[in-house]
Structure 1
Amino acid sequence: MGIKVLEIPREALFLAGKIYLQYRKNKGKKTSPKKTSPKKISPKKTSPKKTSPLPDFFIGAHALISNFQLITRDNGKFSSYFPSLKQRDNSR
């Protein structure tokens, strides 16, 4: 098995930022970004109780845009924010 280092497509970078913003507005809760209210939240109120790093969203967006299957131990977050992403559970 070889390892390839791939550039992240610009489309994936944009998608990751957009979905991460929704994540922050949801305060880290695992819900679909489509279900959030469009209210503006001040920066002081955006600190989530549980924080997921932005690179997780880069990975999810890159996999989705490139039509890759993602192997993860956190299916919940990726299912919530990337519902059409192909995933394989590796929690065993």
Structure 2
Amino acid sequence: MTLVDTNVLLDLVTNDPVWADWSIEQLEAASLAGPLFINDIIYAELAVRYERIEDLDAFIDEAQLILAPFPSAALFLAGKAFTQYRRAGGSRTGVLPDFLIGAHAAVQKLPVLTRDVGRYRFYFPTIELISPAG
């Protein structure tokens, strides 16, 4: 079971010239180990790239992604980690989704397939990260 971060999926959607091949390879490898999950936040972030919900849902079906709900413990942990971030002087914009995704992975002990490891490593050191950095 692997939680797939938005940036990896956007590599496929946009056919990113630098990252698409890596992301496809990692998704295939992760799918051999078990189901691939996304959550509501990842779904919402992907929606930015689609005009119609049917097209997004078709992509999710084709990629064999499972939409997994947030456990309340993950939502609570995300809020606490975000509070720690803000108290340390972190900016307010665009980061709460990372805390929600990281907390979801931490609470359910899911590895995260991502290219963006910084906040995950610092605020959720227990999660396994599958990334280009290793």
Q: What is the root-mean-square deviation of aligned Cα atoms in Å?
A: 1.8
Task: Indicate if the aligned counterparts of 1:8 and 1:62 stay in contact, CA closer than 8 A.
Answer: yes
Normalising by structure 1, we get a TM-score of 0.68
Question: Which runs of structure 2 are paired with 1:11-90 in the superposition (5 Å)?
Answer: 11-28=73-90, 48=91, 51-90=93-132
Who is 2:67 aligned against? 5
Task: Tell me the matched-pair count.
Answer: 71
Counterpart secondary structure, 1:65: helix
Counterpart secondary structure, 1:24: helix
Amino acid at match of 2:110: F
Higher helix share: 2
Deviations 1:13-61 (A, max 9, x none): 0000000010111112xxxxxxxxxxxxxxxxxxx3x744211111000
Normalising by structure 2, we get a TM-score of 0.48
Amino acid at match of 1:7: P
Unpaired runs of at least 5, structure 1:
29-47
Kindly report structure 1 stretches of 4+ aligned residues shifted beyond 4 Å.
none
| Alpha-carbon distance change, 82 to 11 in structure 1, aligned in 2, over 3 angstroms | same
